[in-house]
A = this chain, B = another copy of it.
Amino acid sequence: MSAVRISKITITPVAFADPPLLNAVGVHEPFALRAVVEVDTDAGLTGLGETYADEQHLAALRAAAAAVEGADVYHTEEIYRRVQAVAAPDAVIASGLIGHSAATDRVFSPFEVACLDIQARAAGRPVADLLGGAVRDEVPFSAYLFYKWAAHPGADPDGWGEALDPGGIVAQARRMVDAYGFTALKLKGGVFPPEQEAEAIRALRRAFPDHPLRLDPNAAWTPATAINVARDLDGVLEYLEDPTPGIDGMAQVARLAPMPLATNMCVVAFAHLPPAIRDDAVQVVLSDHHYWGGLRRSGLLAGICETFGLGLSMHSNSHLGISLAAMAHLAAATPNLTYACDTHWPWKTEDVVAGDPFTFSGGALHVPDGPGLGVELDRDALARLHEQYLRSGIRTRDDTGYMRRLHPSYERRQPRW
């Protein structure tokens, strides 16, 4: 048995066009950022990972890359320790709740995915087979609906059109369901006063009587507002996602809300699980391998959810095809991931992945057959999106700053209503 050692790591920040999607803290900028992580080995096999590309995160990735060169790709626990030793102090996220191990988890994730890609390629098997194997061949995703402008100011319309009221949201949902076959609908809220967003949910219910519905105001509401909206939407929502900030606030709402509360904001690290479970603050956790420490640690999260009777869904930021493949393998191999996953996929027009390895049918994605993640880099596209990154001038995602440049009176407030 000879080791398969990491000989080189290449981290390439890229920018891809993103529509003006509105949320609780502002609006998506014209370009979203991602970092593509390529791991080369002395055995000739290469693996891919994808993660955030904010400046501080890129610095942490580069420090980690230097630290893990020479490691055996099968020794991911050892790689985790090396990442923890060098990258975590630089990667602590603004939230005071995020501790040392959470910072490590975020930096470690793309390296772990790339190492599993390599291991799976070596075995001639899909990555899902390193996680216990797929229990489903098709992974269901939800339509991720956004309030949005027709175009970025000064730019051409993006083709999706404006969606600033219930009619616009229903039209957007119709188009997305027609194209992908999604069987669940999620509305990103926190943009308009809650009664307007509740009205949009009711319009979706009328237009799609059988689709499970979710509303995610990204902690824009006080607990009292959240309780009122939750009661108002009793029987309409599959779950209500992050209505209010913090574990304490969510616990207050959970005691009176008639539907489960989901989160990707107040439980985003293993350290958040004990208090959230103790207080029954959330009933569904949205997994995300980008910040839960890669695919195997996301499997740990899934097992914790199963053990403690929590539901499990999957969160998405704007992402490219490497992440979609990783999400699909993880979801396929997670028995208790029973909610349709989130994805920003339909909003994206550019990618670094070669060809089109992704087939949606009935809202579900066929898990790429592999070996490995089942995706390859398109090097021309990678170079083009890297050039776009350099030209874009965007170095850290700033939805609020972009909104304030357009609307100087805009203020970031949490909660807002």
Residues of chain A whose beta carbon lies under 8 Å from any beta carbon of chain B? 1, 72, 74-78, 80-81, 119, 122-126, 129-130, 132-135, 270-271, 273-274, 277-278, 296-297, 299-300, 303-304, 306-309, 333, 335, 369-371
Contact = CB atoms under 8 A, between A and B. Distances in A.
B303 A78 contact: no
A61 B129 CA distance: 24
Contacts of A123: 119, 122-123
A125 B123 CA distance: 11
Contact of A132 (B76, B129, B304): B76
20 contacts: A1-B124, A1-B371, A74-B129, A75-B134, A76-B133, A77-B132, A77-B133, A77-B134, A77-B135, A78-B133, A122-B123, A271-B307, A273-B307, A274-B277, A274-B307, A274-B308, A299-B300, A300-B300, A300-B303, A304-B304
Given A1-B370, A77-B132, A77-B134, 17 more contacts: A1-B126, A1-B371, A72-B133, A75-B129, A77-B333, A77-B335, A81-B135, A119-B123, A132-B296, A270-B303, A270-B307, A271-B307, A273-B308, A274-B309, A297-B303, A300-B307, A304-B304
Nearest to A119: B123
A129 B299 CA distance: 17
A297 B307 CA distance: 11
A81 B1 CA distance: 33
Nearest to A77: B132
Nearest to A134: B75
A132 B306 CA distance: 22
A168 to B, nearest CB: 42
A125 B1 contact: yes
Contacts of A277: 274
A357 to B, nearest CB: 15
A132 B75 contact: yes
A369 B1 CA distance: 9
A270 B307 CA distance: 6
Contacts of A133: 72, 74-78
Contacts of A78: 133, 135
> Which of A77, A126, A297 gathers most chain B CB within 10 Å?
A77
Nearest to A4: B125
